[in-house]
């Protein structure tokens, strides 16, 4: 990753030198820039077009809808010059006549795909001012318009008015950011006064339609996003400090608000390096890797316009509790409780015959067979250890009437170990690990302790044993 960082730094320095050059042209600069743009991620720009009823009005002697269409055509032509860029078109207020209008009148008319510029222009040409202005709803719906969050996703809103559906475009902006639409939308205002324009300050970058540098401002910003984006690489470190652990869910939180922002399944690319993520740089983050147990970072402030590394010590190994199939095993019902070896905190409940990864450490495993098996396990880095569990046998207990009693493990030269209580049923079954057991029981009708019955039995794997308490 150091090579990538220094390569990006050289590009930025080269552009700065060219900018300071007194000459009007710099062919080497343009060639370098063109090559860098070709190697940059895909950019997707969603145009949200206002076709509400207010667009029938005039501004500077022309119909606002006509001005908006001309703006859109010129903007599209300008954006089309940027390499590796796709466009899509969402329109609101175009179907349900106002009044009353419909606050859900917002549709994606042309989705993202290559070579759709002609189709977008033709669709815009046919639009007629009709309905109401649901800006918050349109912005929230736009999240699903983007196929994924691996590209540089942008929104351009062309409008002549403010929210008319009691929505809050500021909240919509927060939602967009939480869904990885990290760059602030551009809002192109047609005939808005200063007070109306200020309502968009929390949403994105407001630009007036009569600005002479309108198209250049937008294309320059999008180009710089491609070249100088803020990126993040989460390094899940193994026992040797190498970023080779992967396939773990990682969650980004706003550290100041303690709120969830993004979820990713960590992966390694074709070069065996952790994937690069594009997220906003102005947030103070906390990152949690959902290993078992989870590993949490310190608070993180990203370096804007640079590639940021977030290392987390996550050396892992695996354990599998194996047991053969058997008539009395019922493996699908047996669980293993994994605890911290010191404080006994439960970290996981694991199934049999299914490996699970854990952070390298010592753990206590409670295998919920009868009797329960308790043992300390050590997770070894990058290895899977197998723990075998013996097959059970069946114990059938019969009595002529209800009673009270218990089953004990009767190990040689050791105190009796309680295993389970008998129920009031006259026939009951238990599935026990191999070993010697003692059954202690008294019929309910017998009021004296001297009528207590004791019976010894040895359970063997895959065999059924019957004990008659009469």
Residue 216: pLDDT band (50, 70, 90) is confident
Whole-angstrom Cα Rg for the chain: 34
Residue 201: pLDDT band (50, 70, 90) is confident
For residues 425 and 445, what is the distance between their CA atoms, to the nearest angstrom? 14
Strand order in the sheet with 403-409: 417-421, 403-409, 435-443, 453-459
* Mean pLDDT along residues 302-314: 90
Q: Determine which of 4-18, 201-215, 220-234, 355-369 has the lowest per-residue pLDDT on average.
A: 4-18
For residues 455 and 80, what is the distance between their CA atoms, to the nearest angstrom? 88
Identify the residue with better confidence: 213 or 408.
408
Among 11-25, 136-150, 435-449, top mean pLDDT goes to: 435-449
Q: What pLDDT is attached to residue 170? A: 86
- Name the nearest CA neighbour of 414 among 429, 384, 435: 435
SS (H, E, C) the chain: CHHHHHHHHHHHHHHHHHHHCCCCCCHHHHHHHHHHHHHCCCEEEEEEEECEHHHHCEECCEEHHHHHHHHHHHHHHHHCCCCCEEEEEEEECCCCCCCCCCCCCEEEEEEEECCCHHHHHHHHHCCCCCECCCHHHHHHHHHHHCCCCCCEEEEEEEECCCCCCCCCHHHHHHHHHHCCCCCCCEEEECCCCHHHHHCCCCCCEEEECCCCCHHHHHHHHHHHHHHCCCEEEEEEECCCCCCCCCCCEEEEEECCCCEEEEEEECCECCCCCECCEECCCCCEEEEEECCCCCEECCCEECCCCCEEEEEEECCEEEEEEECCCCCCCCHHHCEEEEEECCCCCEEEEEECCCCEEEECCEEEEEECCCCCEEEEEECCCCCEEEEECCCCEEEEEECCCCEEEEEEECCCCCCCEEEEECCCCCEEEEEECCEEEEEEEEECCCCCHHHCEEEEEEECCCCEEEEECC
Taking the alpha carbons of 296, 297, 300, 304 in that order, is the dihedral positive or negative? negative
Answer whether 309's CB lies under 8 Å from 300's CB.
no
For residues 351 and 367, what is the distance between their CA atoms, to the nearest angstrom? 10
Model confidence at 23: pLDDT above 50: no
Give percent of the chain with pLDDT exceeding 70: 89
Read off the pTM: 0.63
Query: What phi and psi values does residue 111 have, to the nearest 5 degrees?
Result: -80, 170
- Name the nearest CA neighbour of 352 among 319, 317, 382, 380: 319
Q: Determine which of 195-209, 327-341, 407-421 has the lowest per-residue pLDDT on average.
A: 195-209
* Mean pLDDT along residues 213-225: 73
């Amino acid at each position: 990753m150091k090579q990538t960082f220094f390569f990006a730094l050289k590009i930025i320095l080269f552009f700065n030198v060219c900018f300071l050059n007194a000459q009007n042209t710099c062919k080497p600069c343009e060639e370098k820039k063109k090559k860098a743009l070709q190697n940059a991620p895909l950019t997707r720009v969603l145009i949200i077009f206002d076709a509400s009823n207010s667009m029938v009005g005039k501004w500077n002697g022309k119909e606002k809808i006509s001005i908006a269409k001309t703006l859109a055509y010129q903007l599209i032509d300008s954006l089309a010059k940027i390499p590796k860029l796709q466009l899509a078109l969402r329109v609101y207020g175009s179907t349900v006549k106002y009044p009353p209008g419909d606050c859900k009148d917002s549709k994606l008319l042309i989705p993202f795909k290559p070579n759709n510029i002609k189709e977008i222009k033709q669709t815009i040409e046919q639009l007629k001012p009709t309905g109401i202005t649901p800006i918050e709803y349109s912005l929230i719906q736009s999240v699903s318009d983007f196929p994924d969050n691996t590209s540089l996703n942008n929104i351009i809103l062309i409008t002549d008015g403010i929210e008319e559906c009691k929505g809050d475009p500021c909240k919509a902006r927060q939602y967009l950011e939480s869904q990885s639409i990290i760059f602030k939308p551009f809002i192109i205002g047609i005939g808005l006064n200063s007070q109306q324009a200020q309502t968009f300050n929390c949403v994105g970058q407001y630009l007036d339609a009569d600005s002479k540098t309108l198209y250049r401002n937008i294309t320059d910003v999008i180009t710089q996003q491609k070249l100088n984006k803020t990126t993040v690489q989460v390094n899940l470190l193994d026992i040797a400090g190498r970023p080779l652990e992967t396939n773990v869910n990682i969650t980004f939180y706003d550290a100041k608000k303690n709120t969830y922002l993004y979820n990713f399944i960590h992966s390694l690319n074709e070069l065996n390096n952790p994937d690069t993520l594009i997220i906003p740089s102005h947030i103070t983050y906390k990152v949690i890797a959902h290993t078992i147990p989870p590993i949490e970072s310190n608070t993180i402030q990203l370096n804007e316009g640079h590639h940021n590394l977030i290392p987390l010590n996550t050396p892992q190994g695996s354990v599998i509790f194996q047991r053969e199939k058997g008539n009395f095993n019922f493996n699908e019902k047996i669980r293993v409780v994994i605890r911290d070896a010191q404080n006994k905190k439960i970290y996981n409940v694991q199934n049999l015959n299914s490996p699970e990864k854990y952070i390298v450490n010592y753990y206590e495993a409670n295998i919920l067979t009868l009797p329960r098996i308790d043992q300390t396990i050590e997770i070894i880095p990058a290895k899977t250890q197998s723990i075998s569990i013996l097959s059970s046998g069946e114990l059938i207990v019969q009595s002529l009437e209800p009673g009270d009693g218990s089953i004990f493990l009767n190990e040689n030269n050791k105190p009796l170990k309680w295993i389970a209580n008998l129920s009031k049923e006259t026939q009951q079954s238990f599935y026990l690990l191999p070993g010697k057991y003692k059954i202690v029981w008294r019929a309910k009708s017998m009021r004296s302790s001297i009528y207590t019955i004791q019976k010894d039995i040895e359970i063997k794997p895959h065999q059924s044993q019957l004990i008659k308490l009469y």
